[in-house]
């Protein structure tokens, strides 16, 4: 008789170890989907909470706003091309307006004048909204902060950032890894709020 494996509340099998090696590009959350497939094969159906279904839908439908400010934007555009294919992760819909986007990827140098525009666009995005700071300039000012009085020391001075991606410029694989980290953060967050107690 084989031992039963339990799936954690977040849908992950705690016994499965990540199989990707450093520098290797892997399919998005392959371990998560393998655990789900094993459960469906074992029982013939899948039982999930509404919370898990909402989180699954949110992680697979991230629409991001095109917001390239400098050289990191070239790497961001490369992620949308066929070689890296960000559509595999459910985040391939580039949006040109903040009202249709729920993810802002800030790629490049942010100066103080542009910081006001970043904040305005962030405020126009629908909630829940997420921000990825891509590259050394967006995360901490980069090489221009020391000598440029107009450069902001990171976009997190104006808007909250969920994921930081290091590099100058970071490779497209680093942006894919950052997107997977954001999806994991969304999956582990709560969607449904419990009602407040009125005693």
Higher pLDDT, 151 or 13: 151
The answer to whether the CB of 122 falls within 8 A of the CB of 133 is no
Query: Are residue 33 and residue 79 in the same domain, yes or no?
Result: no
Sheet arrangement for strand 63-65: 93-95, 63-65, 103-107, 130-134, 163-165
Query: Tell me, what's the pLDDT at 197?
Result: 65
pTM above 0.85, yes or no: no
Query: Are residue 139 and residue 93 in the same domain, yes or no?
Result: yes
For 139-163, what is each residue's pLDDT tens digit? Answer: 988 888 888 888 999 899 999 999 9
The Cα 195–Cα 135 span in angstroms is 40
Range of the domain at 151: 62-188
For 58-102, what is each residue's pLDDT tens digit? Answer: 888 888 887 788 888 888 888 888 788 888 887 877 888 888 888
Query: Tell me, what's the pLDDT at 194?
Result: 65
Is 163 a member of any domain? yes
Query: Are residue 98 and residue 126 in the same domain, yes or no?
Result: yes
Query: Tell me, what's the pLDDT at 196?
Result: 63
Choose among 5, 4, 7, 3: nearest CA to 47.
7
Query: Tell me, what's the pLDDT at 5?
Result: 44
Query: Tell me, what's the pLDDT at 71?
Result: 87
Query: Tell me, what's the pLDDT at 42?
Result: 80
We report the CATH number of the domain holding residue 123 as: 3.40.50.12280
Is 194 a member of any domain? no
Res 189 pLDDT > 50: yes
């Amino acid at each position: 008789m084989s031992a039963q494996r339990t799936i954690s509340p977040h849908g992950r099998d705690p016994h499965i170890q990540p199989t990707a090696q450093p520098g290797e590009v892997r399919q998005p959350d392959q371990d998560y989907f393998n655990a789900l497939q094993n459960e469906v094969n074992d029982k013939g159906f899948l039982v999930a909470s509404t919370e898990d279904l909402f989180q699954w839908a949110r992680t697979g439908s991230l629409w991001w706003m095109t917001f390239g400010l400098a050289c990191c934007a070239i790497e961001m555009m490369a992620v949308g091309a066929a070689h890296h294919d960000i559509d595999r992760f459910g985040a391939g819909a580039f949006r040109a307006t903040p009202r249709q986007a729920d993810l802002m990827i800030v790629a490049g140098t942010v100066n103080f004048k542009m910081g006001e525009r970043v904040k305005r666009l962030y405020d126009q995005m629908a909630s829940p909204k997420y921000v990825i700071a891509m590259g050394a300039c967006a995360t901490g000012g980069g090489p221009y902060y020391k000598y440029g009085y107009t450069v902001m020391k990171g976009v997190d001075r104006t808007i909250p950032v969920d994921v930081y991606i290091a590099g100058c410029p970071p490779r497209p694989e680093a942006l894919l890894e950052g997107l997977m980290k954001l999806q994991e953060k969304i999956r582990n967050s709560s969607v449904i709020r419990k009602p407040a107690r009125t005693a």
